Structure 1
Amino acid sequence: MRRIGAGAHLHRYHRAVHSPVFFGPVGPDPVNRFDSPDGSYKILYAARSIETAFGETFVRTPAIPYILSTTIDGRVRSELVTTRALRLYPLVDAGVSAHGLSFTDVHGDAYARTWEISGHIHETTSADGILYTSRFDNQRCVALFERASDAIRLSALSAVPISPSEAERLAAHFGKDYVAP
């Protein structure tokens, strides 16, 4: 297990209609990278940096050279703080091969294997979630199981609208243009 200590800040961009502390997906079917394969638990995704959170949320198709303002509309930015140390199962470094995975599996957009691994980790360990690497900037992200809901709280930065200047700056970080109508 890897640990992130109490008092650490986690960043996320999320739909404005959802709470900053939202464990999803909404329905029973998996949607995102480490969602429960059978809907038996929910996941909250966050990143260690604001840039990584932006990339994981908005740089979904790297070949597209721009990020449309309409993609950002309806989303907000929040920051969470850990209230205790998080115990995270590492799917970083050589840890991916322990499950017969490669970084192609972990970073790809075909999620059947990562759903299966998430289910195995949730069922067989007491981990609070999964530590993984962003496919966009090689920085760390977390997929927290809902059983770790007591380990996070909102910071003062909660559900803040994303300004065009913030979107432009962060899009440029990934070599993208921010395009407003």
Structure 2
Amino acid sequence: MLETAFGETLARTPETPYILSSGIEARVRSAFETTRALRLYPLIAAGVSAHGLSLTDLHGIDYLRCWRVSAEIHATTVADGILYTSRFDNHRCVALFDRAADAIAETTTKAIAIGAAEATVLARHYGKIFAES
């Protein structure tokens, strides 16, 4: 979902009221499809606590603990990636590890820029203001 991806990458700091056009211009969106079932490690519900984390840790600004847990999951499981909950809208998100490369294929939706009008709508969705920079 584009809204969730936008929030996870561009609306990460609640205290910042603006999303700058330079941040939008540095990104494009693409879609892919899976070619086999993905093995996702559930870093949701009890899976969070099992790693000594709380939802507060996962939804905070400091990503160091999350990165350590991701590295641990990568090193100790055969998971293709992690299933987690977005900090912004409670939608499920997936972070794929490099070993999932054989499980995904490109679609015709690739490298599509997000225009100013769409960025304005997405920014408003998160209570932000889109600003030209």
Under a length normalisation based on structure 1, what TM-score does the superposition of the two structures give? 0.69
- The residue that corresponds to 2:55 in the other structure is 103
User: Unaligned 5+ residue runs, structure 1?
Assistant: 1-48
Distance 1:147 1:161 in 2: 27
C-alpha displacement of 1:87: 1.1
Cα deviation, 1:116-142, whole Å, max 9, x if unaligned, reads 211221122111111111112111111
C-alpha displacement of 1:147: 0.6
Cα deviation, 1:39-85, whole Å, max 9, x if unaligned, reads xxxxxxxxxx1110111111021112221112212211111211111
Counting only pairs closer than 5 Å after superposition, residues 10-159 of structure 1 correspond to structure 2 as: 49-159=1-111
State the identity %.
62
Q: Which runs of 4+ in 1 moved over 4 A?
A: none
User: Unaligned 5+ residue runs, structure 2?
Assistant: none
Distance 1:112 1:59 in 2: 19
Distance 1:52 1:65 in 2: 18
Q: Which amino acid aligns with 2:70?
A: S
Higher strand share: 1
Distance 1:68 1:173 in 2: 15
DSSP-derived class of the 2:3 partner: helix
Distance 1:134 1:125 in 2: 23
DSSP-derived class of the 2:50 partner: helix
Distance 1:79 1:128 in 2: 18
